[in-house]
């Protein structure tokens, strides 16, 4: 029974930017993200044939406990008044439509207060039986790949048609590291999109070299303190210069895998929860072919 975990925000942003914003409902409302999201979900369901499906949501896109650890966390996405940068004007009104559509479908929408969708996905990936397919355009979730439990990432950076199915071998080939050490590699490299600097002065090549020899940040810190010759002197110097960040990096960057998730039925329903509402949305918003494709994929 394959479980598909959809990183919802990642998918609706990709749907929005991947479909022309000239797509409108009969009333002239933008529907490109709604159509794109439904179409992408249908194609992924057809490809991976999941028996269980969850749309994972941000309970908080900038959790307080991560900000307490590192105040700059995602600060690059905050405006001068401390508010989240606005979504594109034409995307914002479409998000409730996406959520309403899938709620009417009977597919669970799960978010947890003070945690990101990544943490919801991570907890499901650790507590549910595989196969598990994580659907995202976010490479941070590569840290969850686990061949033994058949957890892989459907990585959408190249779009749906050309997306990669990321396993440990894919990570090893892409980054030149043991696949299971992607989390450590990411801690050291950093991620500008999340405002995470990594260890200052160590780029992707340096992070890969360190991940080839060590399996955790605590091992790296210990090696730096002990002048371990597996650690290049330049890397040692930079780690010690940025030791405060190194000490918090593991908790900051690692997805939480032990959050309390709501008790919901993950198995795909045999029919939509509110077929009348879906038909109404299909007509009112001009979603005909997209809705039909999803209904066909879900065998409703």
146 three-state secondary structure: strand
Q: What is the CATH number of the domain that holds 115?
A: 3.40.50.1010
24 three-state secondary structure: strand
111, 260: one domain: yes
Residues 22-60: pLDDT tens digits? 999 999 999 999 999 999 999 999 999 999 999 999 999
263, 237: one domain: no
Residue 137: count of CB within 10 angstroms of its CB? 19
Share of the chain above pLDDT 90, in %: 93
Tell me the pairing of strands 151-155 and 164-166: antiparallel
Report d(CA 162, CA 235) in Å as an integer: 36
Sign of the alpha-carbon torsion through 141, 152, 36, 271: negative
Chain position carrying tokens 């978010």: 111
142, 55: one domain: yes
Q: In terms of residue numbers, what domain contains 74?
A: 3-174+256-297
16, 112: one domain: yes
- pTM of the shown model: 0.95
Residues 271-281: pLDDT tens digits? 999 999 999 99
What total of structural domains would you count in the chain?
2
Q: For residue 80, what pLDDT band results from cuts at 50, 70 and 90?
A: low
Sign of the alpha-carbon torsion through 231, 240, 204, 187: positive
Domain C-terminal end among 237, 253, 269: 253
220, 270: one domain: no
107, 231: one domain: no
pLDDT at residue 1 in the model: 87
Q: What is the CATH number of the domain that holds 216?
A: 1.10.150
Report d(CA 55, CA 199) in Å as an integer: 33
269, 234: one domain: no
Report, as an integer, the average pLDDT of 284-292. Answer: 95
207, 95: one domain: no
57, 187: one domain: no
116, 211: one domain: no
Residue 259 has pLDDT above 70, yes or no: yes
Residue 83 has pLDDT above 70, yes or no: no
226, 238: one domain: yes
119, 268: one domain: yes
Report d(CA 70, CA 74) in Å as an integer: 9
């Amino acid at each position: 029974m394959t479980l598909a975990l959809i990183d919802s925000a990642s998918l609706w942003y990709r749907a929005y930017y991947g479909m022309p914003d000239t797509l409108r409902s009969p009333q002239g409302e933008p529907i490109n993200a709604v159509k794109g999201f439904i179409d992408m979900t249908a194609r992924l369901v057809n490809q991976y044939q999941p028996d269980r499906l969850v749309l994972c949501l941000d309970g908080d896109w900038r959790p307080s406990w991560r900000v307490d650890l590192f105040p700059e966390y995602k600060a690059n996405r905050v405006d001068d008044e401390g508010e989240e940068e606005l979504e594109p004007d034409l995307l914002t009104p479409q998000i409730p439509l996406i959520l309403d559509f899938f709620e009417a479908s009977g597919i669970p929408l799960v978010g947890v207060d003070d945690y990101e969708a990544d943490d919801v996905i991570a907890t499901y990936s650790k507590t549910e039986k595989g196969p598990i397919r994580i659907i995202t355009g976010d490479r941070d979730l590569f840290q969850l790949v686990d061949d033994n439990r058949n957890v892989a990432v459907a990585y959408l950076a190249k779009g749906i048609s050309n997306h990669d199915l990321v396993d440990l071998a894919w990570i090893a080939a892409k980054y030149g590291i043991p696949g299971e050490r992607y989390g450590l590699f990411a801690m050291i490299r950093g991620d500008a999109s999340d405002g995470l600097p990594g260890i200052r002065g160590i780029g992707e090549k340096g992070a890969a070299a360190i991940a080839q020899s060590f399996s955790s940040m605590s091992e790296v810190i210990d090696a730096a303190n002990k002048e371990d010759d597996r650690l290049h002197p330049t890397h040692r110097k930079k780690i010690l210069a940025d030791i405060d960040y190194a000490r918090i990096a593991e908790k900051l960057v690692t997805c939480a895998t032990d959050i309390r998730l709501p008790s919901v039925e993950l198995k795909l329903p045999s029919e939509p929860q509110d077929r009348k509402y879906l038909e109404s949305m299909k007509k009112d918003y001009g979603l005909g072919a997209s809705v039909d494709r999803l209904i066909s994929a879900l065998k409703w």
